[in-house]
Amino acid sequence: QLQLVESGGGLVQPGGSLRLSCAASGFTLDYLAIGWFRQAPGKEREGVSCISSSDGSTYYADSVKGRFTISRDNAKNTVYLQMNSLKPEDTAVYYCAARERYYSAKWYEYGYWGQGTQVTVTS
């Protein structure tokens, strides 16, 4: 059974930074594409950043380009999302999701999900 566990969320002021972690167990990260999604109250689930296992290609939503960085450490079976220059509009529950090989920005194309971690950006 593949399990994904997010951590690293919290409360920060605008301009601050957080690093989210997605730790996978039960299946090697080598064969998985990982996506970070977020959902704020009243808003549609949004693809934030994704990384492919096959060629290492990445995706970033326009709203986070230049501020967020996705990376993976296959030896630790963990994917990270470094979030800098955080804005109040980044406030959401952030979810880690997995699918085979190639990433997708569509949340419904992922079959494995973590429990989510809350990120709150407020002054």
Using one digit for the tens of pLDDT, what is the confidence trace for 67-103? 999 999 988 999 999 999 999 999 999 999 999 888 8
Is the pLDDT at 54 greater than 80, yes or no? no
pLDDT in tens, 20-41: 999 999 888 888 999 999 999 9
SS3 state of residue 31: helix
Q: What is the DSSP string of 78-122?
A: EEEEEE-S--GGG-EEEEEEEEESS--S-GGG--EE---EEEEE-
Q: Which residue has the higher pLDDT, 54 or 68?
A: 68
> Considering the chain, what is the average pLDDT of its residues?
94
pLDDT value of position 8: 98
pLDDT value of position 90: 98
pLDDT value of position 30: 82
pLDDT value of position 35: 96
pLDDT value of position 105: 85
pLDDT value of position 72: 93
